[in-house]
Amino acid sequence: MTSYDSINDLIRDLSLDRNHWINKESFRFVRKPSFDRTAVNIKHVPNELIGYTLHCKNGHTFSPDWLKKRHPVSTFFCKERGLLRQSMCHVECPVCSTQVEFNIPQAQYNGELEVYGDEAHRVVDGKNVFIYSFISFSGCTDNKNKFEAEYCNIKRKLAPSIPPKNWVLHMKELTSKEKWSKQAHLKHLDSSTIYEYVNHILDLIGRYNKNGDLNIYSSSGIVVGEVLSKKEKNEIRSNVYNSVLMRVVRETTTHNLAPKFYFEKTGDDGWAKNLFDGGRLTLLWAYITNGLPVMSPQFVSPITSLYLEVADIVSYLVARYLYCVGRRAEGANLSPEFDISRIEKVRYVLTNGDGNWLTETSKGFPSDVIFKGTNWENYA
């Protein structure tokens, strides 16, 4: 269903709410100009799909072009009937052009899950290091309330003069005396106090991560080259962002939840939205979303949610660890101030710049995987 007239008929016949987020996402590409001006920039296909094949009626076996631009599958929400979605689409055989049915995985729709993201970037040892981290809390409401209360209590001890929800915990600020000493609510602190309470936060994150309430993902890209062009930087961070985004979408929808993404507004957010939009216009998206809707990323104030702070903490821990490894490779005697293993297991997506992605779930950064055969192997 791609014509605007047919969509208007659907809206009228089913009384669809145009403002419901699920419907807004599906309405965006029904007009040809919107479809035509959206580019597909995704380059990575998950390993699980490399050997996936289809068979046409003329006896040809082929692997679908997962990243070819195509009209997105339609998913709508009707108040009376619930989720309305395609269960099948067609893929063209590259040999004879026969249309082959492709069954879209169909997960149950059990609700929505808010996912919060943050990025970090470092330059060290002649390399650029890019990090993207995603956080979600899928535990029950009681556990979520307890986690948030404990988290805010630690923030209250760090800054008793201000309500914990009225200031944003940024790790780069907390670990720089020059920065924290200029903040009225933080200037009374010393390094030992900050490290004590940050470790309390890491232990809190680790506890709720270990029991399955918190979900932590982090993607790292390490690329040789100290000075990169803007185009090179955007391409690399797009790949790092996309690799972890696909894993989050796949795992969240597999667990019957529709993800809603939130990032801190930076003023340089257009590329992430464009990459997300382009991803929708592929067969890959139909597969990894399991027939569930996914909300385009919203760019919000950092005060919006404490989970933006948690994502910042994870990105900082990974970036700081990798920076210290790079500094040791340069000859410096430098170790991270915080032990990343305190937050328990993280779902890592890794690349050393050769275009091959690795996935690893581990407690502590999986150095033996990402650094093997590189000049950082002996410094982790």
Token pair of 129 as six digits: 């290091």
Whether residues 207 and 344 fall in one domain? yes
Q: Which of 103, 123, 140 is the last residue of a domain?
A: 103
Whether residues 173 and 204 fall in one domain? yes
Per-residue pLDDT tens over the stretch 142-163: 999 999 999 999 999 999 999 9
**pLDDT bucket at 269, cuts 50 / 70 / 90:** low
In percent, the amount of the chain with pLDDT more than 90 equals 67
Whether residues 133 and 90 fall in one domain? no
* pLDDT number for residue 2: 43
Q: Which of 85, 103, 121 is the last residue of a domain?
A: 103
* pLDDT number for residue 146: 98
Average pLDDT over residues 14-31: 85
* pLDDT number for residue 52: 94
**CB of 198 closer than 8 Å to CB of 174:** yes
Whether residues 76 and 142 fall in one domain? no
Name the residue range of residue 261's domain. 112-265+301-370
In a domain, 18, yes or no: yes
In a domain, 185, yes or no: yes
Average pLDDT over residues 362-375: 90
Residue 233 vs residue 336, higher pLDDT: 336
Cβ neighbours of 23 (radius 10 Å): 22
Whether residues 157 and 20 fall in one domain? no
* Neighbouring residues of 308: CB distance < 8 A, sequence distance ≥ 6: 116, 118, 168, 262, 263, 264, 300, 302
Helix-strand-coil split of the chain, %, nearest 5:
40, 20, 40
Token pair of 28 as six digits: 């965006």
**pLDDT bucket at 4, cuts 50 / 70 / 90:** very low
For residue 374, is pLDDT > 90? no
How far does the chain reach from its first CA to its final CA, in angstroms? 53
Residue 372 vs residue 332, higher pLDDT: 332
Per-residue pLDDT tens over the stretch 208-217: 999 999 999 9
For residue 358, is pLDDT > 90? no
In a domain, 273, yes or no: no
Residue 316 vs residue 231, higher pLDDT: 316
- Judging by DSSP bridges, how do beta strands 214-224 and 61-62 pair with one another? unpaired
Question: Residue 104 has what DSSP assignment?
Answer: P
Per-residue pLDDT tens over the stretch 99-119: 999 999 999 999 999 999 999
In a domain, 187, yes or no: yes
In a domain, 70, yes or no: yes
Q: Which of 103, 120, 147 is the last residue of a domain?
A: 103
Per-residue pLDDT tens over the stretch 117-138: 999 999 999 999 999 999 999 9
Whether residues 120 and 77 fall in one domain? no
Lowest mean pLDDT among 69-73, 133-137, 271-275: 271-275
In a domain, 276, yes or no: no
* pLDDT number for residue 352: 59
Whether residues 120 and 75 fall in one domain? no
In a domain, 330, yes or no: yes
**pLDDT bucket at 253, cuts 50 / 70 / 90:** very high
For residue 248, is pLDDT > 60? yes
Per-residue pLDDT tens over the stretch 255-268: 999 999 999 887 66
- Kind and range of the H or E run holding 11: helix 4-14
Number of domains in the chain: 2
Whether residues 141 and 19 fall in one domain? no
Average pLDDT over residues 232-252: 87
For residue 3, is pLDDT > 70? no
DSSP strand E in the chain: where? 54-55, 61-62, 75-78, 82-85, 88-92, 99-103, 112-124, 127-137, 214-224, 258-264, 295-300, 345-351, 358-363
Q: State how far the Cα of 11 lies from the Cα of 110, in Å rounded to an integer.
A: 24
Whether residues 147 and 225 fall in one domain? yes
Whether residues 69 and 201 fall in one domain? no
Q: What are the helix and strand counts (H, E) for the chain?
A: 12, 13
Average pLDDT over residues 48-64: 94
In a domain, 211, yes or no: yes
Residue 351 vs residue 297, higher pLDDT: 297
pLDDT, the chain, mean: 91
Average pLDDT over residues 201-222: 97
**CB of 219 closer than 8 Å to CB of 241:** yes
* pLDDT number for residue 138: 97
For residue 241, is pLDDT > 90? no
Of the candidates 373, 378, 344, the residue with the CA atom closest to the CA atom of residue 356: 373
Q: State how far the Cα of 148 lies from the Cα of 151, in Å rounded to an integer.
A: 5
Whether residues 119 and 257 fall in one domain? yes
**pLDDT bucket at 373, cuts 50 / 70 / 90:** confident
Whether residues 34 and 72 fall in one domain? yes
